[in-house]
Amino acid sequence: MIDYAIQTWVDFLGEFLRRKKVTDFTLMGESLGGWISAQYTIQALDGIAADPAFALPKPSKLVLCDAAGRHDTMAKTFGPKAAGAEAPPPSASLAGQKALLGAVFHDPRWSSGPAALKRGFAWSLSKGDAWTIHSVYTNPGLLNETVDGKLKDITIPTLVVWGADDGLLPPADGQFFAEGIPGSRLVTIPDSGHAPMIETPQAFLAAVESFL
């Protein structure tokens, strides 16, 4: 088991790119991946590394989609829970899957009905990542890795894409990223939740292709 931090994934990504000798690339991240991508880009452009041998290859462009990483929003997830608050259902359960799908997707066709729940539950179990998700959601140390005050260091062309009906990370967070990153562009996709690339793929691809 690994005590995951955002920096853990930043280091993994850096090593992957170095080993594959990738030097010219656009970095794209969604949700937690957006948080990792933002942190990676900040450190790559600022030359932050544990040792010169671990210098992070620099992306040429960045795409952030419904990205996590804003302190106020993350504090509501990882911070102390209110006394008497009802505990959410276990993620590795049909009830947990129903709650998750309902938060991720705006269109109820993606989250309602026995078929959708069974399909989502089976997919969740097949990944075997329940413990990783649990360890992330119960790690208050991640609040020390939020991107507040550091977005100005992202100086490469950046596209911020957000589902207008995101039930996990509010559209205001999209504005936060767009206003914090100099020269970035924000595209808000109507009738889309937390995963526009799945729920509204044509609109998502149109935004990304024009940017690339």
pLDDT mean over 112-137: 80
pLDDT in tens, 7-18: 999 999 999 999
**Whether 184 contacts 160, CB under 8 Å:** yes
Indicate the domain borders of the chain. 6-74+145-211, 88-137
Helices (H), the chain: 6-19, 32-46, 71-78, 94-104, 114-127, 130-137, 171-180, 196-199, 201-211
Res 77 pLDDT > 80:
no
Mean of all residue pLDDT scores within the chain: 90
pLDDT mean over 57-85: 84
pTM of the model: 0.90
At 80 the pLDDT is 62
Element (H, E) at 11: helix 6-19
- Report the distance separating Cα 64 and Cα 42, nearest Å: 13
- Token representation of residue 113: 């009905």
CATH class (in words) of the domain with range 6-74+145-211: alpha beta
* Residue 84 banded pLDDT, cuts 50, 70, 90: very low
